[in-house]
């Protein structure tokens, strides 16, 4: 389980060099911009922009993000198919139908909404993949504290906790193995399985609490939280290029909106469909 879908890929690229906080703001802006587009063609244009950025701005190769792509493709297709099959207009009597699947009627609206939602989900996940792949977690935290004034105790405290996650998952596997070898297995029913899970979780918690006590002592030994401020080993600054990057992102969004509106695809923005 050490293989994770999303992880930082150490490379050189334009996106790698952008200040993490600015990159995060750009990411959120793109999120909003994509979410409020209901027209599938416009969504496709945004997707194209994302695919191009993956290659040219983030310098990522397909095989580097292949595992993450499996996740995004399957989620997007699930949402698309689910909406195409079960969108509310399909159930209005006497509505014009494009085609039938068994007893299910598929309407024009269902197809449009399904595709649009699928494409948007696909875009959003891929944006996240780009962000995670080009942003070192430590740099992100450093930048949030230095550039966004997030209190350092919270930010680094979270980072330390983040470091513990794989340890916990290892430990849980150990606990399960220890139980299994004792021949202590839950009965086949769900209740027994849930009970069992909770008992194992308690064992995990006892260990975790003890570890967090030790960790707290170690952090105190390192003077964590002793002062209001701290100095920084990795200074993070917002530079001119970061501002340019953010402005460009916003411009790309606005220009895309404008062109698509002129051509006639994009009629309105919203969140309802």
Partner 1 sequence: MSQISVNNLTWQYDGRLKPAISNISFEVEKGEFILILGSSGSGKSTLALCLNGLIPQEMPGKFSGKVKIEGLPTDTFPLSQLTQKVGVIFQDPESQIAMLKVEDDVAFGLENRLVPLKKIKKRVKESLTSVGLLEFKDEITSDLSGGMKQKLSLASMLAPLPNILVFDEPTSNLDPKSTKDLFDLIHKLNQSGKYTMLTIEHKLDGLMDMVNRVLILNPDGTLLADGNPRNVLKKHFLKIKEYGMWIPTVFWIGIKLKDKLKEKDISIEPPLTIDEAANKFKLLLKDIKDTKIKIGKKVDAKEKRESQDKKDKNEYKKFNQIEVKDLNFAYTNKKYVLKNLSFSVYEGDFLAIVGPNGSGKTTLAKILTGLLKPSSGTISLYGKNILTIDPLEISKKMGFVFQNPEHQFLSDTIYNEIALSLRLANKSEDFIKKKVNSLLKQFELIEFKEKNPFSLSQGQKRRLSVATMLLWDQDILIFDEPTYGQDFKNSQQMWNILRDLNSAGKTIIVITHDMNFVSELTEKVILLFEGEIRFFGEIRELFQNKKLLFNSYLMEPIVTTLARTLKLNFKDGSFPITIDEFLYLIN
Binding site for partner 1 (CB under 8 A): 2-3, 137-138, 156, 159-160, 162-163, 166-167, 171, 174-175, 177-185, 199-200, 203, 206-207, 211-212, 214-227, 229-235
CB of 210 to partner 1, least distance (A): 9
Strand ranges (DSSP E) for the chain? 99-101, 104-106
CB of 253 to partner 1, least distance (A): 33
Place of tokens 């079960």: 86
Contact indicator for 31, 24 with CB cutoff of 8 Å: no
User: Quick one: 77 or 192, whose CB is closer to partner 1?
Assistant: 192
Residue 133 to residue 139: CA distance in whole angstroms:
13
CB of 188 to partner 1, least distance (A): 13
- Write the CA distances from 4 to 7, 54, 93, 165, integer angstroms: 7, 19, 46, 12
Contact indicator for 83, 118 with CB cutoff of 8 Å: yes
User: Quick one: 70 or 184, whose CB is closer to partner 1?
Assistant: 184
CB of 193 to partner 1, least distance (A): 14
CA 271 to chain centre: 20
Name beta bridge partners: 105.
100
Residue 144 to residue 109: CA distance in whole angstroms:
42
Contact indicator for 27, 125 with CB cutoff of 8 Å: no
19, two tokens:
């200040």
CB of 178 to partner 1, least distance (A): 4
User: Quick one: 93 or 183, whose CB is closer to partner 1?
Assistant: 183
Radius of gyration of the chain (CA): 24
Contact indicator for 265, 42 with CB cutoff of 8 Å: yes
CB of 25 to partner 1, least distance (A): 23
User: Quick one: 127 or 145, whose CB is closer to partner 1?
Assistant: 145
Place of tokens 């530079």: 239
Contact indicator for 98, 106 with CB cutoff of 8 Å: yes
CB of 33 to partner 1, least distance (A): 32
Residue 246 to residue 240: CA distance in whole angstroms:
10
User: Quick one: 208 or 269, whose CB is closer to partner 1?
Assistant: 208
User: Quick one: 41 or 230, whose CB is closer to partner 1?
Assistant: 230
CB of 161 to partner 1, least distance (A): 10
């Amino acid at each position: 389980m050490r293989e994770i879908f999303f992880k930082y890929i150490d490379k050189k690229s334009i996106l790698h060099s952008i200040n993490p906080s600015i990159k995060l703001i750009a990411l959120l802006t793109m999120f909003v911009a994509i979410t409020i587009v209901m027209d599938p063609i416009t969504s496709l244009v945004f997707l194209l922009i994302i695919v191009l950025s993956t290659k040219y701005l983030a310098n990522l190769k397909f095989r580097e993000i292949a595992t993450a792509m499996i996740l995004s493709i399957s989620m997007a297709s699930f949402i698309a198919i689910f909406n195409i099959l079960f969108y509310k207009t399909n159930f209005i009597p006497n509505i014009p139908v494009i085609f039938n699947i068994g007893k299910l009627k598929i309407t024009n609206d269902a197809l449009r909404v399904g595709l649009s939602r699928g494409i948007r989900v696909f875009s959003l996940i891929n944006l996240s993949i780009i962000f995670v792949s080009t942003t070192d977690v430590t740099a992100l935290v450093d930048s949030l504290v230095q550039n966004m004034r997030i209190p350092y105790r919270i930010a680094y405290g979270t980072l330390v906790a983040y470091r513990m996650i794989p340890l916990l998952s290892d430990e849980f596997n150990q606990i399960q193995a220890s139980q299994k070898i004792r021949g202590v297995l839950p009965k086949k029913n769900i209740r027994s399985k849930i009970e069992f899970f909770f008992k194992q979780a308690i064992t995990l918690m006892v260990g975790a609490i003890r570890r967090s006590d030790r960790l707290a002592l170690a952090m105190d030994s390192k003077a964590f939280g002793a002062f209001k401020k701290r100095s920084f080993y990795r200074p993070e600054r917002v530079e001119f290029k970061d501002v340019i990057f953010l402005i460009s992102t916003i411009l790309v969004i606005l220009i895309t909106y404008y062109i698509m509106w002129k051509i006639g695809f994009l009629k309105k923005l919203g969140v309802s469909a």
